[in-house]
Chain A
Amino acid sequence: MKSQEYSTPDGFYYTRDHEWLKVEGDVCRIGVTDYAQKSLHEVVFVDLPKLGKVSRAESLGTVESVKAVSDYFAPVSGEVVEVNEALENRPDLINLSPYGDGWIAIIKPSALEAELVELMNSKVYSEFLRSLTAK
């Protein structure tokens, strides 16, 4: 298999389950990482989260390829206030632009300062990916 490179842009926070979070004023945009979309390959369905309260690490839904199903989890607690409805007809946006048009939801966080400490920055996450792929 060809060796893979994974994009881990600066300015994003990352989880060990391969979600990303970007702070935008008083809300957070979330999605799944380049590593997640490359592992799933052709995304054909995204089960979007319901609007309303969520706790950190709670399952928000699934991202699915032809053969695989992957849960994604809330990187922080708060309230889902918006979901990316474009994914309903264009789930492949997750493959084409995981950190851009392939975003999944916007969360209004309730304990952001305490919970951000638990997340990785770009440098730590890319080291984490190296440790996974070195296996």
Chain B
Amino acid sequence: MALKTQLFQYHVEHAHMFEFAGFQMPLWYEGIIPECLAVRKSVGAFDISHMGRIFVSGPDAEAFLNHLTTNNVAALKPNHAQYTLLCNSEGGIKDDLVIFKLEERPFLVVCNAGNRAKDLEWMTSNTGSYNVRIHEASNDVAMISVQGPRTARVLQSLCEGVDLSSFIRFDCRPVKMAGQECILSRTGYTGEDGFEVCIMNSTPDKPGQALSLWSNILRAGRELGIKPCGLGARDVLRLEAGMSLYGHDITESTDPIEAGLDFVVKLEKGDFIGKEAILRRKDEGVKRKRIGLKVTGKGIPRAECRILKNGRSVGVVTSGTFSPTLNTGIAIGYVQSMYSNMGERLSIEVHGRLLEAEVTGFPFYDPKLYGFRRVQ
């Protein structure tokens, strides 16, 4: 029996549904392509209530999270969030997370839907002598992501007494949206400017508040062409931005160095789980690296396709798709380090055919034209 989010009733009436991490979720409403383009050019709204939300409180909350994760929680300012990794003692990635530090409130840890149970178990089993309280609130809090260059314009009308331009990227604060208690953050998984909204005290059994805020957001964005977006568009948008998907591009058998995520590994911060192994791997040098591949002809790379150089297998695709923004096939994969340089020409084997591709940096799109750093 698949799980339902607070917005299930809306999805089932409007979307093409599929099952993801045990949840009945929208794959697309109108179509993946128009939904992606809405987010790149204007604004789109996603239900991300399937993700895990865990509150960590108590006098040792900060030290505990710093021991568990790779980024520096002690450096996190109040009302700010950070991207970080949860690693095992061998340095393998258990999950990628966003940690919110809210003033005079517990830390909020947002994890991947498929890792809810695993992360909770890992956190609980590593409390040791830390004086902390771990409270899983995934089912008590709904979560909506609004993404695209016009997001702030749409959400401002719903946030009384709060100036959204005062939020810098990764800021988070409790706000009232359309009268409801929420935590608002300038975060997302599309590469675009955008906000994520946690709607407090809203369960799948009593979805009224979440459904009402969802329809308020869609109404507020109507004139700007807002589109409800499914997880199909979410996956394509994060891939275009070069962001990793847990379970595909990062797993327990990939480490942060080869995944190119060392920018969230703070080796100087003190001890944390996996640190020794990561240091060792860094000293030895990694044998393979995560890269972006852009297909130069026709054809679409898919996960598990082999990557070749002069007919010899040198790596594997971990995510692949057609990019509506670039109108070409793109992929994330791992290749032997010597073939990971920008501009390297490689082939991808797709159903017995070889596609020519070129190693590119992230994001795949031109950051002057798309994404949160775009030139207005």
Contacts and interface: CB of A to CB of B under 8 A. Distances in A.
B299 interface: yes
Given A66-B321, A66-B322, A42 B31 contact: yes
B300 A88 contact: no
A110 B217 CA distance: 60
A67 interface: yes
A62 B329 CA distance: 15
Given A64-B300, A67-B27, A88-B298, A44 B322 contact: yes
A6 to B, nearest CB: 15
A65 B33 CA distance: 10
A47 B28 CA distance: 24
Which of A42, A45, A62, A88 is packed against the most chain B CB atoms within 10 Å? A42
A1 interface: yes
Contacts of B232: 66-67
Nearest to A91: B298
A41 B28 contact: yes
B288 interface: no
Contacts of B12: 1
Given A47-B351, A88-B298, A41 B31 contact: yes
A45 B15 contact: no
A41 B324 CA distance: 14
Interface residues of B, number: 23
Given A66-B324, A67-B27, A42 B351 contact: no
Contacts of A1: 12-13, 15-17
- Give the bracket for the number of chain A residues in contact with chain B: 10 to 19
Contacts of B299: 45, 47
A41 B351 contact: no
A22 B16 CA distance: 31
A88 B31 CA distance: 21
A134 B12 CA distance: 17
B235 interface: yes
A1 B11 CA distance: 8
Interface of A: 1, 41-42, 44-45, 47, 61-62, 64-67, 69, 88
Given A66-B321, A67-B236, 17 more contacts: A1-B12, A1-B13, A1-B15, A1-B16, A1-B17, A41-B31, A42-B31, A44-B33, A45-B329, A47-B299, A47-B351, A47-B353, A61-B351, A62-B351, A65-B32, A67-B321, A69-B302
